Amino acid sequence: MNIVLLGPPGAGKGTQAARLQASRGMIQMSTGDMLREAVANGSPVGVKAKAVMEAGKLVSDAIVSALIGERLDTAGRHGAIFDGFPRTRQQAEALDSLLAERGRNLDHVIELVVDEDALVERIAGRFSCAKCGASYHDRFKPPLADGVCDHCGSTECIRRPDDNEQTVRRRMAEYRAKTEPILPYYDERGLVHRVDGMQSVDDVAAQIEAILDS
Ligand code: ADP
Ligand code: ADP
Ligand code: ZN
């Protein structure tokens, strides 16, 4: 099974993708994570992407589609959860071709519907473990022991440089202008399920599980 999680920055895509990876053994494919890794490694892709990401704009379709193509084979038969990809119509078409070339297809598109005012608060409080990447929130998902990662015990956490209010507003504008218009492309094929992303993490997860089981 291959699914796409769509929603503006802070909607909960990464949180839900990580849950599905744990519960179903599907592979999380986050172009944001792949790009941050490229930036950290100083690879040619990272050098190109760094300033674009810091400005809250979209990295080129060619770069992100190539990243997904490279990783797709590692998903094997467990299927993939695309988190933060596709973000443009061109990327959506590229994904269809990449899957078709491998004799696979898209099963569901899940749109996380959220209230924009809440997103800034979610993003401002977001941080992750520097060692294992587990994701947390100051208010909505603090670690069980203050300052200690639940998963690996590390006491070092990181915040993304683009998680500031000004860049978040820019990222939301990009979402509205370029990503939301993909929905009709998937709606025509009856693939889209809308889930209320303002519910608790557990309730959102339960609804997604129900869709995948249906
Ligand atoms: P996205 O990948 O869509 O940008 P994340 O999954 O990283 O979003 O979530 C953004 C922040 O909000 C994180 O700090 C996460 O812990 C928190 N969060 C995610 N889902 C919820 C939810 N349903 N309710 C409250 N906070 C949430
Ligand atoms: P969020 O889900 O919080 O918006 P991501 O981690 O998905 O953040 O993306 C962070 C940044 O990486 C984006 O603002 C953009 O610059 C870049 N990026 C990630 N995925 C894509 C993509 N599919 N197409 C273009 N740019 C992307
Ligand atoms: Zn950790």
For ligand 2, whether the C-beta of 8 sits within 6 Å is no
Band of pLDDT at residue 123, cut at 50, 70 and 90: very high
Catalytic site includes residue 13? yes
Band of pLDDT at residue 75, cut at 50, 70 and 90: confident
Band of pLDDT at residue 165, cut at 50, 70 and 90: confident
Distance CA 152, CA 132 (A): 7
Counts of helices then strands in the chain (DSSP H, E):
9, 8
Over range 159-173, report the average pLDDT: 92
Do the beta carbons of residue 1 and residue 107 sit within 8 Å? yes
pLDDT for 73 = 82
For ligand 2, whether the C-beta of 112 sits within 6 Å is no
| Ligand 1 geometric centre to CA of 55 (Å) | 21
| Ligand 2 geometric centre to CA of 32 (Å) | 5
For the CA of 167, the closest atom of ligand 2 is 14
State the Cα angle at 181 between 176 and 183, rounded to 5°: 115
